[in-house]
């Protein structure tokens, strides 16, 4: 699998995206300040807001331990793209890839938890999913150096407890 490297204007700190005929510009800072969410609903809301900033083609690694909220975040992203409702988005742990279509993009939610080798990764044909209108949302992609190297964005979710022992999520976004 060889993901295309971004060059020229794509490597700049700003990206342009065409959406319903309007040109939308947004800043892509290399590392964002962490966002704290206090519930699954807040994580979904963050995903919806993030969807407004995601412009295909894009490879996004979703990093975090089991139960950190990766699929919950995808629920919000899919809703933001009007590709699926939160109830339609489930973890692709056993199917490996779920596809959600919207007028703006095709989202591929990919779970590599059960994939252990580069050879197994190759058989998935992820490079065939890359298209001008696709966004690959890859859970557990950090296991593979090639995916980490070629990703456009990495979102790390971490479960943390506050001083009262309440569980929350810290979400950090890193871009090229």
Q: What is the pLDDT of residues 166-175, one digit of tens each?
A: 889 999 999 8
Closest of 168, 151, 158, 173 to residue 33, by C-alpha:
173
Residue 125: CA count within 13 A, CB half-sphere:
3
32 domain residue, yes or no: yes
25 domain residue, yes or no: yes
3 domain residue, yes or no: no
> What range does the domain containing 38 cover?
8-175
Number of domains in the chain: 1
Interaxial angle between packed helices 70-80 and 40-51, expressed in degrees from 0 to 180 and rounded to the nearest 10: 50
| The overall pTM is greater than 0.85 | no
105 domain residue, yes or no: yes
Q: What is the pLDDT of residues 1-41, one digit of tens each?
A: 444 434 433 433 334 444 333 333 344 456 678 999 999 99
**Which pLDDT score, from 0 to 100, does residue 5 have?**
39
pLDDT tens over the chain, length 176 residues: 444 434 433 433 334 444 333 333 344 456 678 999 999 999 999 999 999 999 999 999 999 999 999 999 999 999 999 999 999 999 998 899 999 999 999 999 999 999 999 999 999 999 999 999 999 999 999 999 999 999 999 999 999 987 787 889 999 999 87
Closest of 107, 114, 173 to residue 143, by C-alpha:
114
Question: What CATH number did the domain enclosing 130 receive?
Answer: 3.40.50.300
- Spell out the SS3 assignment of 88-157: CCCCCCCCCEEEEECCCCEEEEEECCCCCCHHHHHHHCHHHHCCCCEEEEEECHHHCHHHHHHCCEEEEE
2 domain residue, yes or no: no
26 domain residue, yes or no: yes
43 domain residue, yes or no: yes
29 domain residue, yes or no: yes
């Amino acid at each position: 699998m060889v993901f295309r490297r971004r060059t020229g204007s794509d490597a700049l700190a700003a990206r342009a995206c065409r959406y319903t005929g309007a040109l939308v510009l947004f800043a892509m800072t290399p590392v964002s300040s962490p966002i704290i969410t206090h519930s699954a609903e807040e994580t979904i809301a963050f995903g919806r807001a993030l969807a407004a900033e995601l412009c295909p083609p894009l490879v996004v690694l979703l990093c975090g331990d089991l139960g950190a909220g990766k699929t919950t975040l995808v629920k919000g992203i899919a809703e933001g793209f009007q590709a699926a409702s939160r109830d339609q988005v489930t973890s692709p742990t056993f199917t490996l890839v779920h596809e959600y279509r919207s007028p703006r993009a095709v989202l591929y939610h990919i779970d590599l938890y059960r994939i252990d080798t580069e050879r197994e990764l190759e058989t998935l044909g992820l490079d065939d999913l890359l298209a001008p209108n696709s966004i690959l949302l890859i859970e557990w992609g950090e296991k593979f150096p090639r995916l980490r190297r070629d990703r456009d964005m990495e979102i790390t979710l971490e479960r943390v407890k506050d001083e009262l022992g309440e569980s929350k999520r810290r979400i950090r976004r890193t871009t090229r």
